Amino acid sequence: MIHTDKIRVYYADTDAYGVVWHGAYLRWLEAGRIEYTDKVLGLDLKKMQEDGCILPVVELNIKYKLSAKLDENLLLDTEVAELRPSAIVFKQTLKNEDTGVVNIIGTVTCVAVDTRTNKMIRRLPDFIVEAYNKQNAVTV
């Protein structure tokens, strides 16, 4: 299942040349993953943390295709590309809402970490796998 977020490019997102600074894309990708986890999967990240599990990024790959510019309206599509026994791989695509032209394509890998020990959990907790399977995102 794909979740789409709308993004407007503000002045604070741009550099001196009026194009989106490369680091701004990372904030948008993170927001897209949080919205996907909350709205599609029904998982509350704050509650997960309180229950002893966080999902930090361990690998990030972004292909910059075309810079977004000030005041453009963008669409960010987020989906699960792969659910591994110990990791979740998200695929995210950011494109111009008016033209459909793709700005970036990213893949982001997150793993489960136990907040009590700060060690990677060898397998994703069952409640995460069940939430993904329930939404027919992907299967392990």
Tell me phi and psi for residue 46, to 5 degrees. Answer: -65, -40
pTM summary value: 0.90
> 140 pLDDT exceeds 60?
no
Catalytic pick from 15, 51, 71, 114?
A: 15
As a whole number, the mean pLDDT across the chain is 92
Which pLDDT does position 133 carry in this prediction? 87
Which pLDDT does position 137 carry in this prediction? 44
> 40 pLDDT exceeds 70?
yes
Residue whose entry in the numeric block shows the structure tokens 């993004």? 7
In a domain, 138, yes or no: no
Structure confidence by residue, pLDDT tens digits, 53-90: 999 999 999 999 999 999 999 999 999 999 999 899 99
Quote the number of domains for the chain: 1
- CATH number of the domain bearing residue 112: 3.10.129.10
Which pLDDT does position 136 carry in this prediction? 67
The domain in which residue 111 lies consists of 3-132
- What is the rounded CA–CA span in Å between residue 91 and residue 134? 19
137 within 8 A of 81, measured Cβ to Cβ: no
Residue 5 designated active-site = no
Residue whose entry in the numeric block shows the structure tokens 């809402």? 97
Helix spans in 36-125 (H): 45-50
